[in-house]
Amino acid sequence: MWVPVAGLPPRLTLSALTGACRLCILGSGAARRKDVLARDRRGLSDFHPQLLPSLSFGDSPSWVTKCRLEPRRYITSPRLAETLVQVLRGGREKTCQLFLECNPGPGILTQALLENGARVIALESDRTFIPHLESLGKNLNGKLEVVHCDFFKLDPTNCGTVKPPIMVSKMLFQNLGIQALPWSKGIPLKVIGIFPIKNERKTLWKLLHDLYSCTSIYRYGRVELNMFISEKQYQKLMANPKNPNLYQALSVLWQVACEIKLLHMEPWSSFDIYTQNGQLEKPKRRESLEELQQNLCLIQLTPRRTLFTENLTPINYDVFFHMLKQCFMKRNAKLIDHLHSLSPVDAMDILKKIKKKEKAKITNLYPRDFKQLFETIECSKDYTCKWLYDDFLEDRIV
């Protein structure tokens, strides 16, 4: 029987509960009863999550005259759009798949998806694009729905009254008639889009929390992401002990959670970027010119059916996050030294169970090794207290 963090809501930081430098948790008895209540509130079973219910372009397009808070990339090439559709189909015949498209803008990819038999829900954050997007759905018998919504601002953590383009996914999905699928079943829908230019890392962390806690879009099952990301960030995402300088907690968490595939690479120059004044963004610095020579990578992130186990659940995932953050704070240290500060469980016994040598370093462990390490400590039966926490680390971003 797994024992989650005693009585802690999943998103509550430990620093809010203690002023001590170290906190020992994961007990039994009354704590277990609190955990059962916590699971009931979230609709989760002990070991597996129960998910709750053609256009021509002029020099000055009319849809980009409205001011925007930040520049965004848009797919404006029909050639690129058709290439992406073929990649997403994976050689299959036309099928009526459900795609949730993030900020489609002028709708070039939207139209290509519709022509290939897909059903599309276009979430557009800029009102000026919406009339044109809606016109693409005429005479298509509801195969296209357009919603004024920003996918990357779904379910804000600190919000009062929510109004478009910020929305709550539960209400959005209910209105769209999207049904949840059990985690062990298929893919309820596919998301396609381009990560925000300036907030890739922040967006990746938010999605990780949503995924591991089965909240937001992942309340509805193993939602598949098909997203363009910068080549530099993709390299970090896929890093492992073979490229230790790029290897980080973010790499481990995504590789543990998802099957990651590189579907396509496209030069930055293939995407149009419109700024606040509605003009193409011109590089002003040397760094910008270097960036424009790089590629954007279309990656597919499919949550693993086997992500959750008896010892890694949507309740205790925060402990896994904390373990990784603390490990990568001193990435060149030996694993055994970290174990002494992470857990009172016998460090040599843990190394033996995970088949690692005493000299093994953090950067020698692959993502699967970190998951095995966490589960080994979690299932230690001879210890009522399994974890030690450095209070100040909780609010650090690694």
Binding site per annotation, positions: 75, 124, 150
The candidate with the shortest Cα–Cα distance to 318, out of 228, 210, 220, 182, is 210
Give the number of other CB atoms < 10 A from CB of residue 218. Answer: 24
In three-state secondary structure terms, 163 is: coil
Nearest CA-CA partner of 140 in 124, 123, 116, 175: 116
Q: In what order do the strands lie in the sheet with 119-124?
A: 144-148, 119-124, 98-102, 190-194, 224-230, 295-303, 258-267
Lookup: tokens for 160: 């009062």
Using CB atoms within 10 Å of the CB of residue 256, give its burial: 0 to 12 exposed, 13 to 18 middle, 19+ buried.
Answer: buried
N- to C-terminal Cα separation, the chain: 31
Cβ 50 vs Cβ 264: under 8 Å = no
**Known binding residues for S-adenosyl-L-methionine:** 75, 124, 150
Distance CA 126, CA 63 (A): 9
- Please tell me the distance from the alpha carbon of residue 266 to that of residue 261, in angstroms, as a whole number: 15
Helices (H), the chain: 30-42, 78-89, 108-115, 130-136, 169-176, 200-213, 231-237, 249-257, 286-292, 317-329, 335-342, 347-354, 367-378
List C-alpha distances in Å: 16 to 2, 11, 319: 24, 11, 15
How many contiguous H segments (helices) and E segments (strands) does the chain have?
13, 11
In angstroms, the CA 217 to CA 170 distance is 8
